Amino acid sequence: MAERKRRTEMKFLFDSLRNQIPASHGSKSSKWEILSKASDYIKSLEANCKANSAAQGQLGQVVQDLDVIRRENESLRAENHRLFQEMNAYRDARHANMVQQPPMPQHYPAPTTSMSVDPSSRSLPPPNNVAHASSMQGVQYTDGVR
């Protein structure tokens, strides 16, 4: 009677183990196949666990790097905002200076009388060789003034 109970319990445990193994749901397998598949499945779970641990370590490093990058980004945004404000202040100051006509600096010469000659009183010197000049030819002047 005790042996029958032990065999029934063993059968129940092997069936439970077989149902826990993903590759053998519902299939009839020998005890040796069930134990081999269970062993392989446990090894694959251990490998996955190691891979997950390594991935978590990498994720922790990536999170730290992301934190550093976020702080740098915030710093650059603040600097960008400050420079933008400086640029606007400079532009506003420049615009205000352009509206008010500043006096002419001292280093510019005063206009001379030769620069303020009436344009209608100017005339060109007489051309040389006018007899042979056509409308498309250049004209040569005698005193070098053009």
Query: What stretches in the chain show pLDDT beneath 70?
Result: 24-26, 99-146
Condensed to tens digits (0 to 9), the pLDDT of residues 88-110 reads: 999 888 888 776 555 555 665 55
User: CB within 8 A of 53, min separation 6: which ones?
Assistant: none
Condensed to tens digits (0 to 9), the pLDDT of residues 44-60 reads: 999 999 999 999 999 99
Burial 59-74 (b: 16+ CB within 10 A, else e): eeeeeeeeeeeeeeee
Q: CA-CA distance, 43 to 36, in Å (whole number)?
A: 11
